[in-house]
Amino acid sequence: MIVYFIRHTSVDVPQGVCYGQTDVPLKPSFEEEAAQTSSNLQGLHFDKTYTSPLTRCTRLAAYCGYPDAERDDRIKELNFGDWEMHRFNDISDANLKKWYEDYLHVKATNGESFEDQYKRVADFLNELRQKPYEQVAIFAHGGVLINAQIYAGTLKPEDAFSALTPYGGIIKIEI
C-alpha cells in the first residue's frame, strides 16, 4: 500500500511557542499554501483519505477536495500537556531539560513522549495495513510524518527532528 502523508500548512502561532494538540489558527497565507499542496496532489487517486481532527489538517483536506476524510485521533500531533501554548524559552518546568535530553522517552509534563506518539501512529498504520486499499492520503502533522517514516524504516528515531517535512509538504511511504 502506498501512503501519502500531507503536512498541514503554516500555523499562525508566534515562533517558539509549543502548540502540539492545541487547535491553532492558520496563517493568512493558507489559500496560497493550500493551492500549492493541492497542485502537488493532482493526478493522484486515493482509495481512502484520513485526517487528524485538528482544524489545521481538516481545513487542508477539505481544500484539497477531501472534506469527508475520516478523522482519527491517533494521527494528532504530540500532546505537550502543560507546555501547550507556552514559549519553550519561558517554560520553567524542570522536566523540560530532561525532555530536551531524551525526547524519545521522556513525557512532556501531563503530556506524552515521542515514543507514545509513535505507538499511536504505529497502531493506526498497523490497522491501515489490514485494509484493502492501494493508495491512501493522510492529512496530519510534522511529528506524525516523522513517525510514519520511522515506521516505514526510512528514518531512524535519533534523526527525527532533522527530517521535519515543511508545511504543506508531502511524503510518500510504502507499508
Joined grid coordinates for residue 124: 493506526
CATH number at residue 38: 3.40.50.1240
Strands 170-174 and 2-7: antiparallel
Q: Cα(146)–Cα(156) distance, rounded to whole angstroms?
A: 9
Range of the domain at 126: 2-174
Q: Cα(37)–Cα(17) distance, rounded to whole angstroms?
A: 25
Three-state secondary-structure class, residue 20: coil
Task: State the total domains in the chain.
Answer: 1
The confidence score (pLDDT) of residue 163 equals 86
Whether 115 has a pLDDT exceeding 90, the answer reads: yes
Per-residue model confidence as pLDDT tens digits over 2-49: 999 999 999 999 999 999 999 999 999 999 999 999 999 999 999 999
Q: Count CB neighbours of 69 within 10 A.
A: 23
Q: Cα(19)–Cα(12) distance, rounded to whole angstroms?
A: 10
Question: Can you say whether the dihedral through the CA atoms of 121, 118, 65, 47 is positive or negative?
Answer: negative
**Contact between 118 and 150 (Cβ < 8 Å):** yes
Note if the pTM is more than 0.85: yes
Per-residue model confidence as pLDDT tens digits over 45-55: 999 999 999 99
Per-residue model confidence as pLDDT tens digits over 138-168: 999 999 999 999 999 999 988 887 889 999 9
